[in-house]
Amino acid sequence: QFFVFCHGLLQLSQLLVSGYLKSSISTIERRYGLSSQTSGLLASFNEVGNTLLIVFISYFGSRVHRPRFIGCGAILVSLAGFLMSLPHFITGPYEYDRSVASMFSNTTDLCEPGVPRSQGNLSDAGCTPHAARENHEVLLVMFIAQALLGIGGVPIQPFGISYIDDFASERNSPLYLGILFSVTVIGPGVAFMLGSAMLRFYVDIDKITGDGVQLTNKDPRWVGAWWLGFLVAASLVAVSAVPYFFFPREMPKEENSKLCHFPWINILPYTSSVCNRFPLFLSDFPLVLLRNLRHPVYLLVVLAQVNLSAMVAGLATFMAKFLERQFSLTASLANMIIGAVNIPGAMVGIVVGGAILKRFQMSLRQCSAMCVLGMFLCLLLAFPLLFLGCPTQKVAGVTYSESSEFGHHALECNLQCNCPEKAYNPICGSNGIEYISPCSAGCRVVNINAGNNSVLNYTNCSCISENGLAGFAKPGTCGTGCSHLVLPFVVLSCLAGILASTSHTPSFMLILRSIQPEDKSFAVGIQFMLLRVLAWMPGPVLYGSAIDTTCILWEKKCDRKAACRYYDNNLFRQR
């Protein structure tokens, strides 16, 4: 029972490390100037290490000291977690364009007629070869960490489950494995909650004092302390790894327990691959593979699961980013919604699906009907989500132009300002139009709150005219004005998720009952392999690429595209 407790804790903390990255992905994009395609690749990169090794690990399963192997894997995972936060410590403080001279730079982004701008303007200041190299280093470290995370995670699940199944009594084994399964399902939710808590702190909380931070967490330039969560999660993994080095290679069995007995196969489908006649595995491989892939039911169900899983993988990675952009939410709130509403919803769906299955003792045909029904209802509920949203706010020079001759050049009203091209410090004019920087709105005066050094407003702005007078502007984005749609969107997406996940268990039953009993474990192994390679790996990358196609204004770093400043929200939503 202590082993089960330790294993539950370890699985939870391992999921924290891998799930936390997904919750902070939009923050990491902004901090290091990544496109969504790159960040999608990063998010799915841990599957690479995992897939390469899983076959060997299952093969050696019975011949090694399993608890010790799990402990070593956990130490790798914890190392990966600490590595993920390393970029924060090897790069300098986060720099952004500002209107108030600071300890980093004395250039400001106000309209200053008659002040010649040197070409080394705001964002270009950091464009030395050193800065470019630094960016490559950051990506390299993160990709290595993700690969390590995948490799370290390999022994944890299969060995833990087979160890428990070998030494637990037949009566208790399903209970223990049920506990572990519920932990794996709760894990991602906890990870998003952790992300929500950490992203409330400013990224350089350890490098600058409180009054040095001029951003609020509603500012589009705000970057939360993404690295803190990795430290927390990695420490948890390290702590839960310790007991594994003290478990014996074999335990006295709880009572008489027959090996490889699956009354609970429908709770925890993939455990069966542990009880294998594995030495025969390599010679049988081609025959059994062909036999299973020629089986129409098996093939179709696995293809359906691949499609669904690819969607889940893409959504898990970018749903928070979508909520942030579409409804102008903070990263912290978006994570809170996903961790507290959407993921628990999916859990409820899985449990309900299993319960219905058990209650009505369904035949195979009824199982497939239930899957189809769940998916169809999910489609109906998800369809309105295409329309729940607003277009991108009016941004002068990006999505909106006052005059028709706008296309030629920047607004005449700020011509004499010599604005730095790349400045990004969005402000919201009193006319309801957003400007990329105070300079592009022609603002000459900034008023500062003496108490905490934050900007109150900008005045004397030549581009913002109200009744012939120069208008004023508030710092921060105008927002999409979509906040009233958040609630319906969240409710509908949660219900759609519940309905889709009711088909989880019946689809597994379709596979397990339609193939020959002696192929069962092999078929489940192949199925997980296909899901990894065809869904979990490419899913986030494809979603990220689709999101990138909807960008209207890219941040430029050293003449290469970095993160996206503005998306076309309608396109983003539809794609």
Joined together, the tokens standing for residue 570 give 């309608």
| Residue segments in the chain with a per-residue pLDDT below the cut of 50 | 119-123, 257-280, 404-410
Query: How many CB atoms neighbour CB 176 within 10 A?
Result: 22
The residue type found at 313 is A
Task: Report how far residue 179's alpha carbon sits from residue 170's, in angstroms, rounded to the nearest whole number.
Answer: 15
Burial class (CB in 10 A: 0-12, 13-18, 19+), 467: exposed
State residue 415 phi and psi, 5-degree precision: -60, -40
Summarize pLDDT for 140-197 with one digit per residue, the tens: 999 999 999 999 988 887 788 778 777 777 777 777 877 888 888 888 999 999 999 9
448-457: buried (b, 16+ CB within 10 Å) or exposed (e) per residue? eeeeeebbeb
Task: Report how far residue 229's alpha carbon sits from residue 198's, in angstroms, rounded to the nearest whole number.
Answer: 6
The answer to whether 420 and 73 have CB atoms below 8 angstroms apart is no
| Residue 533 DSSP symbol | I
- Give the model's pLDDT for residue 250: 79
Task: Report how far residue 146's alpha carbon sits from residue 168's, in angstroms, rounded to the nearest whole number.
Answer: 33
Summarize pLDDT for 491-523 with one digit per residue, the tens: 999 999 999 999 988 888 888 788 777 777 777
Tokens 């899985």 sit at which residue?
350
Domains plus CATH for the chain? 1-95+130-250 (1.20.1250.20), 291-390+481-539 (1.20.1250.20), 405-475 (no CATH)
- Give the model's pLDDT for residue 268: 42
User: Maximum CA pair distance of the chain?
Assistant: 90
Burial class (CB in 10 A: 0-12, 13-18, 19+), 570: middle
Distance of CA 315 to the CA centre of its chain: 8
- Give the model's pLDDT for residue 407: 42
- Give the model's pLDDT for residue 265: 36
- Give the model's pLDDT for residue 342: 93
Q: What is the tally of helices (H) and strands (E) in the chain?
A: 19, 7
Distances (CA, A) of 175 to 181, 201, 254, 346, 514: 10, 40, 14, 21, 26
Residue 475's contacts (CB-CB under 8 Å, 6 or more residues apart) are: 219, 425, 427, 428, 455, 457, 458
- Give the model's pLDDT for residue 182: 81
